[in-house]
Structure 1
Amino acid sequence: MARRPRARTRGVGAVVGESETVEANSNAGGMPMYAPPVDERFLAEIGSLPGGERVAQCIQCGSCSGSCPTAHWMDHSPRRIFALIRCGMRDEVLGSNTPWTCASCYTCYVRCPKDIKITDVMYALKRLAIKEGRTPRGVRAARVMAESFIANVHRFGRNWETGLMRSMYLRGARFGKLFRDLPLGMKLFRLGRMPLRPTRISPEGRAQLEKILNAVEETGGL
């Protein structure tokens, strides 16, 4: 059996830029297979975002997937998401529920041998998905919640729990569970956890927060 030629790579062993003929093994009938050209622009785009600077350093060890408490609910494990990014499969990545299922526990980042900020990359992927109007099936509620939370922070300087839930019900993200949520909502209201009116931070604090939010948005955040 002929030896399979090594793929020519660019950067950090990332992806092949041109089509290459690869010798098929005997199980494939000896027919040649072709590796299609890979678009490296998506990898470069993610690498330019905050937290994505070391994406190309991924060695596919699987520590992130093995550490993830929500991996079994994901379309693609974190390890596979990084492989798809390096292969330029933008639609597959942004259409996945993986970033939306991330619990933000940062265990993957702590255990990553290449010090990749995996959780921050997941946030970046969610921002890209929102920007491009992509809502994977089953995660619309998570997207509405994220957008409503950010709107509350911009408006009041902090989250307003009652307004957040109201937005989710009015936008249809959780309307079908309204009556099921009522007992818990009333309990939280009695405990002072669901105020009818929002609490605003001080004008000085809002001015400082606006500077932070504007700086974050300029770098592709929020």
Structure 2
Amino acid sequence: MKKREKQLRELVKQPSILAGITELPLEWEQLIKSSEFRSEIASALDAKGTEPAKTRAAFIRNQDATNFNANREAWGIPAFLEELVEVSDFENGFMWRFRAHTTSWSENQHADQWFLTSLEARSISRYEFWSCDEGPDKLEFVIEGNYKSILSQLLAEQVYEVLISPVFSSEELDEYIANFSEDEEDYELEEVIEEYISQNPNYLPAK
């Protein structure tokens, strides 16, 4: 178990193969719809010349499950137990859906951390929350929109974990801290900063 935990922590921190490929002029969720832009990214990956980059480019051009399962971890997509992230969560080579799960799934927290920090998740347009605490797997709720709007809706529901995501700028974090009301929230501000905001690479502690 300790070996698996260590492996997961390393995998979750591994940068996506997409990092540094191109400046993204479109909203990430548009990657699934824009064949021209997908082609540009695939060509940029091919130009890198590495085997992981070339197999990721092939997955964009032809979403093949065998390629995905064989190479996903080299791309920065961990193979979580219990099928928490699968090829069916991708469309046209990019992620369109993230399925969050309760702690009834053993690696849900690692999957959540990956979702909040990986470039691969930026293209989603659908967030699902699943439970099985009272019987068969059950879809509890769905949020649709772009990645940032989904995280913002979760934050409005006091899901503070989303604050670790670098999609929130230092200015937005400062504004959130300034407007935080302990009378209306479940946590104290100091706890939210220590447990979540401090993990955001954009956070600049006040001097």
Q: TM-score if structure 2 supplies the norm length?
A: 0.33
Q: Which has the higher contact order (CA 8 A, sep 6+)?
A: 2
Structure having the higher Rg: 1
Query: Going by fraction, where is strand more abundant, 1 or 2?
Result: 2
Q: TM-score if structure 1 supplies the norm length?
A: 0.32
